[in-house]
Amino acid sequence: MASGVVVLSLCGFTPALAKPPVVSIQSLLEEMVSYDSVARWPDPAYTCKQASSYDRATVAPDKPGWFANSDQNQFIRTETNQGRTEKVMMDADGPGCIVRFWLTTGGNKKGSLRFYFDGATEPALAFPAYDLLSGDLKIGPPLAQPHPGYHANGNGGNNFYLPIPYAKHCKVTWDEGSDGARYYQINYRTYAEGARVETYTGAALDAARPTVERVNSALPARPDKPQGRILAKEIELTAGGKYLLKLPPGPAAVRRLELRVPADPLASAQLALRSLVLQMTCDGEDTVWCPASDFFGSGVGLNKVANWYRSVDLDGTMVCRWVMPYKKNAQLTLVNLAAQPLKFSLNVTVSPWAWDERSMHFHAVWHHEADLKTPPLRDWNFVTLTGRGVYVGDTLALFNPVATWYGEGDEKIFVDGEAFPSHIGTGTEDYYGYSYAPKPAHNTPFCGEPRIDQQMTQGHNTSTRTRNLDGIPFQHSLQFDMELISWVPTTLIYAATTYWYAFPGIVSNVPPQPHAAALPIAVVPGAVRPAVVAAPVPRKPGVIECEGMTVVAKSAGLSATPQAMQPFGAERWSGGAQLLVAASAIGDFVEIEWPAPDDQPRKLLLYATQAPDYGELRFTVNGKAVSTKFDGYADSVQPAAAIDLGVIKPGEGKYKLRVEVVGANPASKNAKYFFGLDGVVMEKPAAASGTP
């Protein structure tokens, strides 16, 4: 897949014709942002494997320990280098390349990582362990991406996507002077013998810095719409109706697929019911069968998705940017399985494709199963494939009826008939790039959790991961299983959408499931949160939403997540949501910030929430205490009157608000110290003569 140089331009990434002489940091970064590259069989060819801290008691399906769960502090071996005791995390012959490095800890951040290349006895890279993943190499997000929930001890999950190539060999070690729970996953490529790979050096990274910056800017952005013929249709489907769109003759490729369903309650309900199914046929083979919301990574309902390959907006717009080539002909079919008619718009961008012996078709299937009881512990199959292709991602949408963590299970990916999986992980949340679940809803270019109904994961949850440089080629077969291990006995509903590219003749073990796609959506008994996502509530004029602000600091272990307020009359809150802070003690705090329009002082009005389990608060703005105190207690959930924070001058072009728990009303119940923040209004004062 490192077969073509990609010229980075201001308007996007345009493939050029020349082939790079070697695989390098530069060529791999260019491959990362080329949508075309993943649709062709890799050249030079490679295998993809994973080194991780999985429990070494896991040996074989017929041996004790197959579901062992002590997935921390497990290493290949311990060795002594120049008087240091080092634990080996990865030891791989090349030519190859590290393409994803995930790391987290449940304790301190002590210790050092060392990277040894090509048999050298001195490390080419050596630094405090978490500096790689928190940006001390000056890489920055999203190539170096700390995830929500990250705080001083590293708990939260960290992903590092900068490719680190090596010509002959790579060894990664860890040494530290104290104990702590260490979890890691390293995805790496091993190229075919004879491939020319330029080993990582500091000089090579410095030379690639301009490309690093462009890639970091491009990955979170929405690329310009590609050039090509646009097929735009406004469609109304009756109950049970079908719409078929024949695409222009090939060789060609779908470059962009956009589906928009009006975001009114009825449309959202039908979308949540998975009633609209997307089908695709390329060159006479069925390649896609999937409910629309799952296909675009949203899971159940309309949930915000911001991914390099897919995006979903709450106005009902869903976009797929995976390139879908075909040699001769292709068609799209949309089926409405609901009992009501459905209106939507469809926009498909098609352009020519240079079909060759490396070109592959895009595939997606949806595997749904209810009544999944655990225990017993089990491996649940996402998909099993027979044929030749490259696995490029998955979306897991599930329903959990209990308020506790469901996802202790590890992924197990068997490639080409392996007896033991070459990819075995450390937990479901770790596979999806975060850690120490549960976490708030979030998105990054290659992984995220678009939906989480409840902080302890009761209700609906969606996690998604798309593979780029860490795509998994397979010559004959691929089997993807996920362990089902919950903290307490429960009965789950799983729905996994899997994505891959393949040559003609690929066979999947997942058939279409129209009956499952038409099932009513599960709800938690007695829950007040509807399973169907209602229409978005407009933002009130002048309000800056707290749930959209950046959380710059918070107490260790504290959860600060957006909360939809539909159960309490969403229209009473701006945008129908608030920032819910699950404080648990006096002294717990959160700091949020937002940009100032200019350097002039403003009167700040904070809108908050009162509830039976909310605490007493005090406020600090830009480091200065505000005299106003606030009692968050009320006998029902309700918006509070505006809190006057005073007339305040911005600092460094922004405002930083610290909210701290100082007590609890004697009548407060249960949690006592929670609080909710709706939004801030900045008003020009009649006379801005001073600041507090």
Which letter does DSSP use for residue 614 in this model?
Answer: B
Which pLDDT value is given to residue 107? 61
SS3 assignment for 70-113: CCCCCCCEEEEECCEEEEEEEEEECCEEEEEEEEEECCCCCCEE
Which pLDDT value is given to residue 525? 63
Letter for the amino acid at 385?
L
Q: Which residues contact 366 (CB under 8 A, 6 or more apart)?
A: 289, 290, 291, 294, 295, 495, 496, 497, 510, 513, 517
CATH of 543-683, picked from 3.30.750.24, 1.10.565.10, 2.60.120.260, 3.40.50.1820, is: 2.60.120.260
Q: In this structure, what is the dihedral angle of CA atoms 319, 323, 329, 334, given to the nearest 10 degrees?
A: -20
Q: Is the pLDDT of residue 7 over 70?
A: no
- The pTM of the full predicted model, rounded to 2 decimals, is 0.76
**Average model confidence (pLDDT) for the chain?**
88
Class of domain 6-34+72-218: mainly beta
Same CATH topology for 229-517 and 543-683: the answer is yes
Structure tokens at 329: 């002909």
Contact predicate 135/141, CB 8 Å: yes
Give tens-digit pLDDT for 180-191. 678 999 999 999
B/e letters for 516-534, b = 16+ CB within 10 Å, e = fewer, are bbbeebbbbeeeebbbbbb
Contact predicate 382/462, CB 8 Å: no
Domain ranges of the chain: 6-34+72-218, 229-517, 543-683
Q: Could you tell me the CA-to-CA distances from 584 to 314, 428, 454, 474, 560 in Å, in that order?
A: 32, 27, 17, 48, 12
Give tens-digit pLDDT for 209-265. 999 999 999 999 878 889 999 999 999 999 899 999 999 999 999 999 999 987 765
- Residue 566: which pLDDT band, with cuts at 50, 70 and 90? low
CA distance linking residue 5 with residue 156, whole number of Å: 35
Residue 610 region, left (φ>0) first, then alpha (ψ -120 to 50), else beta? beta
Highest mean pLDDT among 109-113, 315-319, 407-411: 407-411
Q: Is the pLDDT of residue 154 over 90?
A: no
Class of domain 229-517: mainly beta
